[in-house]
Amino acid sequence: MLALVVIAKDEADRIGRCLRSVAWASERVVLVDASSQDATVEVARREGARVVVAPWAGHVAQKNHALSLAREPWVLSLDADEWLTERAGRSLRRALQDPGAACGFAFARRSEWLGRPMGHGKWYPDRKLRVVRAGLGAWVGDDPHDLLQVEGPVHQLVGDIGHQPYRTIWEHLSTIDRYTRIHAEALARRGARARPWDPAAHAALHWVDAMLLKAAWRDGLDGLAVATLGAVYSGLKWHRLRVLQREFP
């Protein structure tokens, strides 16, 4: 009844946890980036998944490719650094037994920062639509910030998607550098323009929203670090858009 689909590149250390968290799925498919250099393919096959290797086409295109590989009437999309908690798995199985008019199901996602689950700020509850009826869902948005959409009603389920986005602080910083470049380029292609004050304004707004409005302060120094790094991301993205529009007016 349910297919789990995952995209992955160099995720040998995390793909196993992701696949085991939905071991009860009728089908599990891993779409591996052809340039992956580690044992992701071997680990996924050892866990019983069907593996498809394809060139990287961008986040949105790759995830839509993964959706197209599913053969079951319902599809759960997870990233390799995510997993379905036991409570979320139970609630999903109950929902699939009697889905009614639902065309999709969503969960809260609880992300970890350097091993500590965050409970506030922009990182929680961070609700994500991840289960769709086959043929009705599609990934949209600007790389790397993709969004799954579905035609029809979406029901919220209890339980969390676990998420370990960064193994180290250095990986977090490297991701900020890489993703802000990709995101700024996507904004530029769409015709977005950054005003002189946009980098500072967006960084400040992000920090205030995370720390004060969404109470990241309740996660202590870790919450402060995550909110500050998020503000850096936002400001750097708009700064890089400014640079691009000066180079290509």
Mean pLDDT of 60-88: 97
In the listed set 163, 186, 201, which residue is the last one of a domain according to the structure?
163
φ and ψ of 28, to 5 deg:
-135, 125
99 shares a domain with 24: yes
Q: Which residues of 199-221 are buried (b: 16+ CB within 10 A; e: fewer)?
A: beebbeebbebbbeebebeebee
140 shares a domain with 58: yes
Cα end-to-end span (Å), the chain: 51
195 shares a domain with 118: no
* pLDDT tens string 49-64: 999 999 999 999 999 9
44 shares a domain with 143: yes
The confidence score (pLDDT) of residue 68 equals 97
C-alpha span between 55 and 65 (Å, rounded): 11
In the listed set 137, 163, 189, which residue is the last one of a domain according to the structure?
163
- pLDDT band at residue 249, thresholds of 50, 70 and 90? low
DSSP label of 201: H
For position 144, which CATH number holds?
A: 3.90.550.10
Mean pLDDT of 139-154: 93
* Number of compact structural domains in the chain: 2
The answer, yes or no, to whether residue 227 has pLDDT greater than 80, is yes
In the listed set 119, 142, 163, which residue is the last one of a domain according to the structure?
163
The pair of structure tokens assigned to 204 is: 């400040």
Strand ranges (DSSP E) for the chain?
Answer: 2-8, 27-33, 50-54, 74-79, 82-84, 104-113, 116-117, 128-133, 137-142, 145-150, 154-163
Residues of the domain holding 215: 169-247
